[in-house]
Structures are given as structure tokens and as C-alpha cells.
Structure 1
């Protein structure tokens, strides 16, 4: 799991990063709301931890931007010294999923994160995932459209599974290269573009089958579910 942390106190940020690393969670810490938002909108994270009081605004303002800009609902935990009932209600009403007061007990913080991950994460533990007419068998690594097997390469399968598990989520080319190809350095992004073009044809991603891969200019791609009657995007 990859976690983005908004925390301007360096010692506190390092403490949380160390705690999460001991559980094999990757955590990137950001000291300002501007840096945090920029990264979250262009990288792939599975959960966000927000402090309320930050140098360039509030964690509440950051949360509102994240909820407005991201097309999928990433789980968010507030970790802050503000612990009044009014603050908690305000954060939850703004879209937070959980709220912890500082100093958080390590076991409780990890338990809350694990609970959110189980509740909101992809159903990776299932052997067969169903997305409309598409069936993905994660054990056999096969994909069928209307029960007809599709011929795909191993990388096509990995990319397809990642797209469906992140349906509605903007995925930059950098994120795709990192999470599907395992590459963290810049290479020719035509690799991603070529695979996307091929997947559109091989998977039959069109309104008739209820899905499309939308190209987001200069940013990346998003797999969208479509209404069978109107061809409009289905909002989560």
C-alpha cells in the first residue's frame, strides 16, 4: 500500500514513516498542502493521512481539493491535535473516512489504516473479478468478454487488471510505468500509448461493452464505465 502523508513537523512525519515502513507500507511525506496536492493528483496512492494545521492553509481545505479533483474516492484519515466534536464532524462531513487525535497510538493507527484498506481496496483476494461483461481470473491470469476468452500477453493482462481495479481513476503514464512495468525512471512513454491503443482493440472497449479508455490530454488515461442506454459516464 502506498500512503501520502501531510505533516509539516519533520520529526512527527519521520516517526509515522518509520512506523508504516515496519509494516511494509510505502509512505511519502509532504510539509505543505500545495506539495501534497500536486503529488496526489499526479501519482498513485492508496490512502491519505492529513494533518489539520499546516503552513499554507488547513488539511480541511486540502481534503476538499482532493475530493473535488480526484474521480475516485481515495480513503482519507485525519491525524491532528484538534479533537473537538465540532472538528471531527466538520472533517467527516467534508469527506474524511476516519479521524485520530495526536499523539496516535501506533497499534490504533495501523488498525484504522488496515480497516480502511480492507473496506475500500480492490477485491484482489477474489479469484474471479466481474466488471460488466468482462471476467478476470486473477489465478489463471485470463480475461473473458461475454464468456469468450481473449488472447492477451502477460503485460496486457497486468495492465488490464490494473485499469479495472482503478476504474474511474486518472492514471498518469508515470504511474502506469511504475505500477505495471516496474519502472521508476523516464523512458519513452510511447510504450504506454502503444499498449493502450492495442487494449482498446483487443478488449473491445467501446460503448456496446460498457467501458472505454479515455485519453486525458498531457496527463494519462482513465477507464470509464458507460451507461448502456445513454453512453454517458457512470459516476461512482
Structure 2
């Protein structure tokens, strides 16, 4: 299973990538939203993990692009350090499947990933 991880916090991105790879996933990681979107356009991913606040292009813009421009139903999980309820509601309106507040628990993330991938199988 191939995952794209778009997160500008280097420590979080690298630790989540290491954790997911230890669970058998292939992870392409990016710290810039524009670079992540370029990768999404040219590769097939089983899951998109993105932070909401990214340099270049935000996680919300990535979600909107994937749903509306590409027309893909690939599962999307959005991370944010914002505790604003409206942000969470907006992300679901754009087509995100899950919304996880930071700090991200790798164990909880893995459960949510497996749940989303199982419903697609």
C-alpha cells in the first residue's frame, strides 16, 4: 500500500513515515503542499495524509483538488493543530474522510488508516 504524507513539521513527518514503513506501507513524504500535489497528479496512492497548514498549497486545497479536479475517491486524512470546529467541518465538506488533531498518535492513525483501506477493499 502506497501512502503520500504531506507534513511540514520535519520531526512529525519523519517519525510517522518511519512508523508507517515499519508496518509495511510505502510512504512518499513531502514538506511542501505543491510538491505533494505534483506527486498526487503523477502517482497512484492508496491513501493521502496531509497537514492542513502547508507551505505552497494547503491540505484543504489538496483535498479539494483531489475530489473536484481529479475526481478521485482515494481516502484522505487531514492533520491539524487547530482546535477550531469549523475547520474540521470544512475539511469534511471538501471530502476528507478523517480529521486528526495534533499531536498525532501513531497507533490511532494506524487504526484509522486500516479502517479506511478496509472499506475500499
TM-score by length of 2: 0.94
Q: Report if aligned partners of 1:41, 1:69 keep a CA contact under 8 Å in 2.
A: no
State the distance in 2 between where 1:117 and 1:83 align.
26
Q: Tell me the SS of whatever aligns to 2:96.
A: coil
Partner in structure 1 of residue 81 of structure 2: 81
Partner in structure 2 of residue 41 of structure 1: 41
Query: Rg bigger for which structure?
Result: 1
State the distance in 1 between where 2:72 and 2:65 align.
13
TM-score by length of 1: 0.50
- Map 1:217-236; keep pairs closer than 5 Å: none
CA apart distance, 1:9? 1.7
CA apart distance, 1:15? 0.5
Partner in structure 2 of residue 99 of structure 1: 99
State the distance in 1 between where 2:111 and 2:24 align.
14
Structure 2: segments with no counterpart, 5+ residues: none
Q: Tell me the SS of whatever aligns to 1:53.
A: coil
Structure 1: segments with no counterpart, 5+ residues: 122-236
* Aligned residues: CA RMSD: 1.1
More relative contact order, 1 or 2 (CA 8 Å, 6+ apart): 2
Q: Report if aligned partners of 2:34, 2:57 keep a CA contact under 8 Å in 1.
A: no
Deviations 1:12-56 (A, max 9, x none): 110010110111011111111111111111111000001011112
State the distance in 1 between where 2:99 and 2:71 align.
22
Partner in structure 1 of residue 118 of structure 2: 118
Q: Tell me the SS of whatever aligns to 2:23.
A: coil
Q: Which stretches of structure 1, 4 residues or longer, exceed 6 Å deviation after superposition?
A: none
Q: Report if aligned partners of 1:8, 1:31 keep a CA contact under 8 Å in 2.
A: yes
